[in-house]
């Protein structure tokens, strides 16, 4: 087809261009070459040169995509303030601030004493430094040219900045795959798609913000190096892969997808020397570059996740060698069978070697994080910490539409078009689509890796559709024969039909059914009844334009309502619509920062560790890194045991303050009581004799905090810390005192006293509650003391188990059994 031929032509001519990031220059030169090769049309245009128009349109569309991507992520900055969101970004921000103050080498060698209290954390060896280094470089550069921007602003706005760059990288990627028109669509789609903007709003200072840019850029360079077979592009791919390894743990996706691509190309008989050159150089340089990151270390040669790349490398060397030998043998065609037999033998040998090495222990098996993608029940049984994260849950069908709207419907169409017109690089995008769809179905967090692929394929589908339908040459311009515009790039909207006519004027006539026109005549709109008339085409184009507008509206709405909450500042709306800010988290952390000794230790659940260390600047016991399961289990055990047992654990761990999150007063549902069962499960994993999850449920198996709740639950430390003094509080005149608004019940254990902790601080809406752990008492109370201490009687109903009689509806307890007739029998009590 004409499109395919021209794309290949333009890609080979583009080989000499080194300015991959400069679309204007590239499109200028390449479009000039293309136009001069087809015909001399420049002479006919009057004011606007077509090449200039092409590159101008590309530039404008890309700039608009960049700006709209940047702007649509700024909702939370406008509504609240420029603040770091969520939990993980606080650690990234703290380490970036550390790096700008203390320099790069101190950052690489940093040992953090504020985290994981008795153990500490070797930060240099346990993070992916790409994010911090990127912000640090931008900070250094801006300060060098005397623009003093604070590091927090750089961190907050880094993700929107890189989202625009991702749009550019996706444009380049799609241009290599299909055409420039599809590239412009893809850039526009990924700029605003909610699947990507959910993880890259302003303030979400996390690895994914730069990782998706590195991913798309690496894939673009890989496709280019496969197409050209150039050593230069392969080395650039390796360098971009190095940046990706430094940025995100998801680099495993790249190092597995590219070998699968190579393998499938070999299986499909599409092996070529370009493939050999590009993959070998990429693998070797990428291997040694990836081992420079301390966190990755020797994993690329020791773990199963990287063995596919090594195996395909060995197989490719063998294939190339045997292929070379075959060129030397004169009668090569006769022994083709032997050739493939040899290749299969080599493949089996490599596979067997990997299996043997794995069983021998030299190669580590798949780690839990990645194995749970294959066997989805594995994490629930064996690693409850991985199973408890809400991002790791399976994806629901609705979230596909919510995150991708129109694109998820166009996505299979684009995949089909790529399969129909298969080339080496389109095999890659099809494989990417298959694997990304599987992973996105397993874990909701991996919707992020599916989004660029969906944008690219939907753009291809839309571009091919509009190539046909937007091509509505009407009869008034037919003084010259019109040709289909498959070999002209840069026009992607229906409003550019005029421009298309401009540079088609002196084109050669091609025999296209239904559009043939002889000079000087006025051809009918349809000469052939099988071809759609231009009116219908316009209608279709208008419908497509409306769908795209709806897509843009949906994306903006989703980003604004669902993904722009900073989660450290909550907002609710009064009856008259005015906004009411709930700033309890920052209030509590600020209190911690100002009112506690500098070396105080704070115990809380691991969710809040990064925030406490970041904003409160105090030592925490466990934080979001979750690298030490036993330590977290100890904290969970302390939270789940009664107060005396918990006090023993807390003195052992040397804890000064305990922090809990409680949402019962305002109805905040992300509090610690709702997370409590996960604490119990994780504690049970390490201490199964002391903590049993069944103890915390009622007999019916429900988790209740009211009178019918299990006594173990109603006396545990977490319960007491959350509901201390809550029994006196009446939030609403219609409900009794102590009514929990999140669980919608009245609590069962009220008016108790705390023995080993005392309340230090409770925030305005009771969301964060901080308690100080009391030191051991000086004197123990003597048994026959003369002074009686009045303690409030705890209103607490005991549930004595009567064998088989309690809690059944309609049963009167202790009902005397009356036996009729004869002698007086014993009463059953």
Partner 1 sequence: MSQLGQVAGILRKLNEEYQISTPKKLKLIDAYLIYVLLTGIIQFAYCLLVGTFPFNSFLSGFISTVGCFILAASLRIQLNKANQSTFNVTPERAFADFVFAHIILHLVVINFIG
- Binding residues vs partner 1 (CB under 8 A): 12, 15, 228-232, 234-235, 238-239, 272-274, 276-277, 280-281, 284-285, 287-289, 291-292, 298, 301, 320, 325, 327-330
CA distances (Å), 298 to each of 6, 253, 256, 794, in order? Answer: 44, 18, 17, 59
Q: Compare residues 66 and 233 and give the one whose CB is closer to partner 1.
A: 233
Q: Compare residues 197 and 228 and give the one whose CB is closer to partner 1.
A: 228
Q: Compare residues 230 and 642 and give the one whose CB is closer to partner 1.
A: 230
In whole angstroms, the minimum distance from the beta carbon of 284 to partner 1 comes to 5
* Helix/strand/coil (H/E/C) assignment for every residue in 488-540: CCCCCCHHHHHHHHHCCCCCCCCCCCCCCCCCCCCCCCCCCCCCCCHHHHHHH
In whole angstroms, the minimum distance from the beta carbon of 291 to partner 1 comes to 7
Tokens of 542: 């208008």
In whole angstroms, the minimum distance from the beta carbon of 468 to partner 1 comes to 32
In whole angstroms, the minimum distance from the beta carbon of 102 to partner 1 comes to 22
CB 461 within 8 A of CB 414: yes
Q: How far apart are CA 148 and CA 355, in angstroms?
A: 55
Q: How far apart are CA 533 and CA 525, in angstroms?
A: 6
DSSP 22-52: -HHHHHHHHHHHHHHHH---TTT--SS-HHH
Q: How far apart are CA 510 and CA 505, in angstroms?
A: 13
**Residue 164 CA to chain centroid, in angstroms?**
17
- Taking alpha carbons only, the member of 197, 218, 230, 183 closest to residue 62 is 183
In whole angstroms, the minimum distance from the beta carbon of 146 to partner 1 comes to 32
In whole angstroms, the minimum distance from the beta carbon of 296 to partner 1 comes to 12
Q: Compare residues 292 and 498 and give the one whose CB is closer to partner 1.
A: 292
- Taking alpha carbons only, the member of 436, 9, 11 closest to residue 220 is 11
Which residues neighbour 662 within 8 Å (Cβ) at sequence distance 6 or greater? 671, 672, 673, 722, 723, 766, 767, 768, 769
Q: Radius of gyration of the chain from Cα atoms?
A: 33
- Return the SS3 of 111: strand
Tokens of 255: 């190092």
In whole angstroms, the minimum distance from the beta carbon of 229 to partner 1 comes to 5
Q: Give the dihedral of Cα atoms 613, 616, 618, 624; nearest 10 deg.
A: -20
Q: Compare residues 360 and 803 and give the one whose CB is closer to partner 1.
A: 360
In whole angstroms, the minimum distance from the beta carbon of 259 to partner 1 comes to 15
Q: How far apart are CA 514 and CA 517, in angstroms?
A: 9
- Taking alpha carbons only, the member of 736, 740, 690, 739 closest to residue 712 is 690
Q: How far apart are CA 149 and CA 204, in angstroms?
A: 18
Length of the chain: 829
Q: Compare residues 232 and 351 and give the one whose CB is closer to partner 1.
A: 232
Q: Compare residues 304 and 465 and give the one whose CB is closer to partner 1.
A: 304
In whole angstroms, the minimum distance from the beta carbon of 359 to partner 1 comes to 19
In whole angstroms, the minimum distance from the beta carbon of 275 to partner 1 comes to 10
State the sign of the Cα–Cα–Cα–Cα dihedral 487, 491, 497, 503: negative
Q: How far apart are CA 819 and CA 823, in angstroms?
A: 9
Q: Compare residues 42 and 342 and give the one whose CB is closer to partner 1.
A: 342
In whole angstroms, the minimum distance from the beta carbon of 277 to partner 1 comes to 5
In whole angstroms, the minimum distance from the beta carbon of 12 to partner 1 comes to 6
Q: Compare residues 313 and 417 and give the one whose CB is closer to partner 1.
A: 313
- Return the SS3 of 163: helix
Tokens of 280: 């070998």
**Residue 47 CA to chain centroid, in angstroms?**
48
Residue 658: which H helix or E strand, with range?
strand 657-661
Q: Compare residues 273 and 506 and give the one whose CB is closer to partner 1.
A: 273
In whole angstroms, the minimum distance from the beta carbon of 35 to partner 1 comes to 21
Q: Compare residues 52 and 294 and give the one whose CB is closer to partner 1.
A: 294
In whole angstroms, the minimum distance from the beta carbon of 119 to partner 1 comes to 26
Q: Compare residues 298 and 573 and give the one whose CB is closer to partner 1.
A: 298
Q: Compare residues 236 and 613 and give the one whose CB is closer to partner 1.
A: 236
Q: How far apart are CA 607 and CA 622, in angstroms?
A: 9
Q: Compare residues 224 and 537 and give the one whose CB is closer to partner 1.
A: 224
In whole angstroms, the minimum distance from the beta carbon of 394 to partner 1 comes to 39
In whole angstroms, the minimum distance from the beta carbon of 274 to partner 1 comes to 6
525-531 contacts, C-beta under 8 A, 24 or more apart: 525/474, 525/475
DSSP 185-211: HHHHHHHH-HHHHTT-STT--SHHHHH
CB 609 within 8 A of CB 620: yes
- Strands 111-112 and 121-122, by their bridges, are antiparallel
Q: How far apart are CA 545 and CA 756, in angstroms?
A: 67
CA distances (Å), 150 to each of 155, 202, 619, in order? Answer: 9, 15, 25
Q: What is the DSSP letter of 815?
A: P
Q: Compare residues 236 and 541 and give the one whose CB is closer to partner 1.
A: 236
Q: Compare residues 274 and 369 and give the one whose CB is closer to partner 1.
A: 274
């Amino acid at each position: 087809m004409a499109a395919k031929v021209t794309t290949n032509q333009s890609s080979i001519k583009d080989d000499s261009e080194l300015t991959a990031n400069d679309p204007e220059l590239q499109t200028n030169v390449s479009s000039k070459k293309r136009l001069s090769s087809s015909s001399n049309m420049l002479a006919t245009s009057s004011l606007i040169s077509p090449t200039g128009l092409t590159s101008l349109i590309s530039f404008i569309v890309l700039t608009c995509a960049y700006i709209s991507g940047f702007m649509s992520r700024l909702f939370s900055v406008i509504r609240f303030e420029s603040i770091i969101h969520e939990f993980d970004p606080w650690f990234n921000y703290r380490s970036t601030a550390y790096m700008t103050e203390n320099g790069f080498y101190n950052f690489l060698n940093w040992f953090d004493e504020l985290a994981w209290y008795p153990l500490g954390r070797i930060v240099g060896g346990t993070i992916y430094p790409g994010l911090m280094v990127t912000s640090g470089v931008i900070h250094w550069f801006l300060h060098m040219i005397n623009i003093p921007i604070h590091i927090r602003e750089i961190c907050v706005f880094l993700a929107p900045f890189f989202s625009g760059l991702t749009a550019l990288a996706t444009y380049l990627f799609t241009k290599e795959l299909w055409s420039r028109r599809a590239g412009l669509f893809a850039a526009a789609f990924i700029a605003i798609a909610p699947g990507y903007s959910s993880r890259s709003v302003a303030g979400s200072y996390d690895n994914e913000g730069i990782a998706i840019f590195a991913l798309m850029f690496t894939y673009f360079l890989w496709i280019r190096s496969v197409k050209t077979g150039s050593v230069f592009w392969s080395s650039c791919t390796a360098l971009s892969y190095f940046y990706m390894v430094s940025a995100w743990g998801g680099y495993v996706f790249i190092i597995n997808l590219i070998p699968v691509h190579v393998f499938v190309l070999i299986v499909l008989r599409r092996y070529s020397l370009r493939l050999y050159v590009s993959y070998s150089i990429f693998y070797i340089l990428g291997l040694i570059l990836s081992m420079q990151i301390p966190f990755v270390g020797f994993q690329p040669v020791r773990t199963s996740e990287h063995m596919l790349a090594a195996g395909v490398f060995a197989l490719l060397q063998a294939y190339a060698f045997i292929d070379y030998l075959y060129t030397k043998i004169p009668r090569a065609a006769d022994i083709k069978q032997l050739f493939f037999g040899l290749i299969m033998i080599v493949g089996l040998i490599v596979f067997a070697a990997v299996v043997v090495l794995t069983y021998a222990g030299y190669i580590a098996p798949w780690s839990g994080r990645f194995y749970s993608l294959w066997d989805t029940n594995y994490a629930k049984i064996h690693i409850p910490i991985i199973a408890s994260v809400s991002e790791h849950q399976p994806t629901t069908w609705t979230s596909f539409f919510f995150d991708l709207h129109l694109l998820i419907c166009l996505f299979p169409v684009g995949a089909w078009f790529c399969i129909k017109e298969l080339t080496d690089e389109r095999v890659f995008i099809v494989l990417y689509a298959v694997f990304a769809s599987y992973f996105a179905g397993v874990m909701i967090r991996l919707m992020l890796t599916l989004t660029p692929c969906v944008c690219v394929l939907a753009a291809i589908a839309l571009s091919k559709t509009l190539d046909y339908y937007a091509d509505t040459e009407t009869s008034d311009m037919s003084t010259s024969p019109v040709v289909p515009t498959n070999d002209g790039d840069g026009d992607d909207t229906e409003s550019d039909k005029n421009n298309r006519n401009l540079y088609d004027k002196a084109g050669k006539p091609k025999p296209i059914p239904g559009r043939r026109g002889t000079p000087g005549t006025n051809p009918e709109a349809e000469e052939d009844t099988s071809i759609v008339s231009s009116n219908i085409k316009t209608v279709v184009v208008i419908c497509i334009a409306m769908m795209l507008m709806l897509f843009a509206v949906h994306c903006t709405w989703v980003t604004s309502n669902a993904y722009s909450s900073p989660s450290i500042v909550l907002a609710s709306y009064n009856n008259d619509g005015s906004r009411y800010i709930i700033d309890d988290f920052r209030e509590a952390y600020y209190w911690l920062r100002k009112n506690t000794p500098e070396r105080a230790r704070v115990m809380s659940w691991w969710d809040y560790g990064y925030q406490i260390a970041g904003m409160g600047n105090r030592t925490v016991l466990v934080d979001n890194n979750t690298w030490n399961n036993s330590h977290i289990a100890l904290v969970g055990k302390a939270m789940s045991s009664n107060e005396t047992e918990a006090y023993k654990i807390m003195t052992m761990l040397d804890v000064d303050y305990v922090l809990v999150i409680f949402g019962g007063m305002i109805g905040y549902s992300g509090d610690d009581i709702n997370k409590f069962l996960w604490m119990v499960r994780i504690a049970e994993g390490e201490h199964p004799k002391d903590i049993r999850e069944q103890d915390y449920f009622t007999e019916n198996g429900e988790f209740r905090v009211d009178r019918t709740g299990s006594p173990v639950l109603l006396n545990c430390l977490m319960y007491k810390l959350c509901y201390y003094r809550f029994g006196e509080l009446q939030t609403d005149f219609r409900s009794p005192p102590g009514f929990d608004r999140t669980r919608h019940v009245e609590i069962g254990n009220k008016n108790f006293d705390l023995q080993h902790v005392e309340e230090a601080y409770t925030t305005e809406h009771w969301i964060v509650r901080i308690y100080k752990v009391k030191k051991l008492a000086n004197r123990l109370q003597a048994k026959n003391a003369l002074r009686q201490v009045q303690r409030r009687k705890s209103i607490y109903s005991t549930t004595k188990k009567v064998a088989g009689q309690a809690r059944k509806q309609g049963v009167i307890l202790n009902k005397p059994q009356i036996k009729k007739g004869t002698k007086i029998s014993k009463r059953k009590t």
